[in-house]
Structure 1
Amino acid sequence: MKIELGQHIIEFHVEYGPRKKLSIHIDPSGLMTVKAPNHTSDDVVMSAVKQHGSKIVKQLQAIEAARTAPKVREYQEEGKFLHLGKYHALHELIETNGRTEEELQHDLKKFYFASCKKVIGERIKIYQKQLKVTPKSYIIEESRTKWGSCSSAKHLTFNYRLAMAPIEVIDYVVIHELCHLLHMNHDRSFWRRVGSVMPDYKEKEAFLARYGQAMTL
């Protein structure tokens, strides 16, 4: 099926089955599927998609942005860099006038660290209430191997590059680490707890696995 959302034409597949509620899923490649109860009319499906139109377009744009990430970073005013799932010209993120390339690289990384700390702090406040947990502290660091971690002493660590990801992907990493305050390993209880807050967490995992390499300097 197809639907026009603003200036965008969105194609999606409808999957009918013995379910009670209609839900919308977008995989990391941008394929959108509407899962609907048997005998759901086309009008009801279209209405549901329109209702979530802005969120759908935003998610699809983030996926496309990650897919078309530039391979060479251009540290100049119009160089493109990811921030919260969208590309921005460098001068929209930091001051560029009179700065050398080395200074721009330093300032941009500093911007990401600050942005990540702010956003992570805001999201922790939201989800720690839902999960009824309280971390002792959290820090932002640079890592090539992990997006986040949780120590046995309840200290959380997050990768500064998360500031480049869509907010819902950041939410997944925050939820993941907060759930480790309840379950230190990745057993079934852990994943059930993650899923209770974010049912589509596997899509966020897949997004990081597929597009995480584009989230770099």
Structure 2
Amino acid sequence: MVRMKVEIDQGVIECDIQYGNRKKLSIHMDAIGLITVKAPKNLSEEIIINAIKQNGQWIQGRLDEISKLQETPQKRAYEDHGKFLYLGKEYSLHELIKTRDLEEEELKKNLKKFYITSCTKIIGERIKIYQQQLGVKPKAVEIVESDSQWGSCNSSKKITFNYRLAMAPMDVIDYVIVHELCHLIHMNHDRSFWRRVGSIVPDYKKKQEYLARFGHYMTL
């Protein structure tokens, strides 16, 4: 697997090049905008770059669509019956935290604490299951705030999870956990990585689609 950046009129396209026993080149994009170019062995870099450029308009169009899906929605209503997601379902604010006699800033602060505490508990319980199945163990696990990632794994084997995952259904949370744990085995998004993810979460593409479609609702 090779990472490549290609300049087009609309900007720069980043993609993974996957070489294999195939006759034709093909370009694929998943629900979150990850681009994979599957190419025949020994195909020149020049041909690959030209193929990406020729499809540049289509690629950028799809990336723009995904970006729009991830835009921040209208401001939340911090009142008793304001709606917020928890484990994939909508709840009124007063069902998640105490709201009586509290101003908006205090409500927002307390709701964030609720999600961080819930996410820490959920991740702590669920990650043990998949660590055992995959035969791996991260050196550290941290719950963080992020506007761009649901999870990450670095070369030091430290895994982080976005506290907003507590707003997602449990099976989607499980997918993100498995995704990051699999990076302890395969740091790149190569074929072996996705095969390992799929061995635990066969319908992982549906989980990606959920995050792409509804991720922008999972906000404070």
Please, what TM-score do these two structures have when normalized by structure 1? Answer: 0.67
Identity of aligned residues (%): 66
Distance 2:88 2:201 in 1: 19
Give the aligned partner of residue 142 of structure 1: 145
Partner of 1:177: 180
Aligned partners of 1:140, 1:101: CA distance in 2, in Å?
A: 24
Within 1, Cα distance between the matches of 2:75 and 2:109? 17
> 3-state SS of the aligned residue for 2:185?
coil
Aligned pair partner of 2:167 in 164, 167, 171: 164
Superposition deviation, residue 92 in structure 1: 0.9
The answer to whether the aligner puts 1:96 opposite 2:99 as a matched pair is yes
Which residue of the other structure, out of 106, 112, 115, is the alignment partner of 1:112?
115
Partner of 1:152: 155
1:170 Cα offset (Å): 0.3
What are the superposed Cα offsets for residues 93-130 of structure 1, whole Å, 9 maximum, x if unpaired? 11111111110000001111111111111110111010
Provide Cα deviations, 1:10-50, integer angstroms capped at 9, x if missing partner.
xxxxxxxxxxxxxxxxxx9xxxxxxxxxxxxxxxxxxxxxx
Opposite residue 94 of structure 2, the aligned amino acid is H
SS of residue in 2 equivalent to 1:146: coil
SS in 2 for 1:184: coil
Please give the alpha-carbon distance, in whole angstroms, between the structure 2 residues aligned to 1:107 and 1:129. Answer: 34
Q: What RMSD over aligned residues (CA atoms) do the two structures have, in Å?
A: 1.5
Aligned AA (2:85): L
Amino acid at match of 1:183: H
- Residue 97 of structure 2 is aligned to residue 78 of structure 1: no
One-letter amino acid matched to 1:179: C
Q: The residue matched to 2:100 in structure 1 has which SS?
A: coil
Which of 203, 208, 211 aligns to 2:214? It is 211
How many angstroms apart in 2 are the aligned matches of 1:154 and 1:80? 36
Name the counterpart of 1:188.
Answer: 191
Which residue in the other structure is 1:24 paired with?
none
Match of 1:100, as an amino acid?
Answer: E
Structure 2 letter corresponding to 1:153: S
With normalisation by structure 2, the TM-score equals 0.66
Give the deviation of 1:73 after TM superposition: 1.0
Structure 1: distance between partners of 2:142 and 2:75 = 29
Q: Which residue of 2 is the match for residue 131 of structure 1?
A: 134
Question: Following the alignment from structure 2 to structure 1, what is the Cα–Cα distance between the partners of residues 126 and 182?
Answer: 14
Query: 2:192 is paired with a residue of what secondary structure?
Result: helix
- When the two structures are aligned, how many residues end up with a matched partner? 150
1:156-210 Cα shifts (integer Å, max 9, x gaps): 0001110000000000000000000000111111000000001000000111011
Q: Gaps (5+ residues) in structure 2?
A: 1-30, 32-72
Structure 2 letter corresponding to 1:131: L
Extract structure 1 runs of 4+ deviating beyond 2 A. Answer: none
Higher RCO (Cα < 8 Å, 6 or more apart):
2
Q: Secondary structure of 1:183's match? A: coil
> How big is the shift at 1:72?
3.6
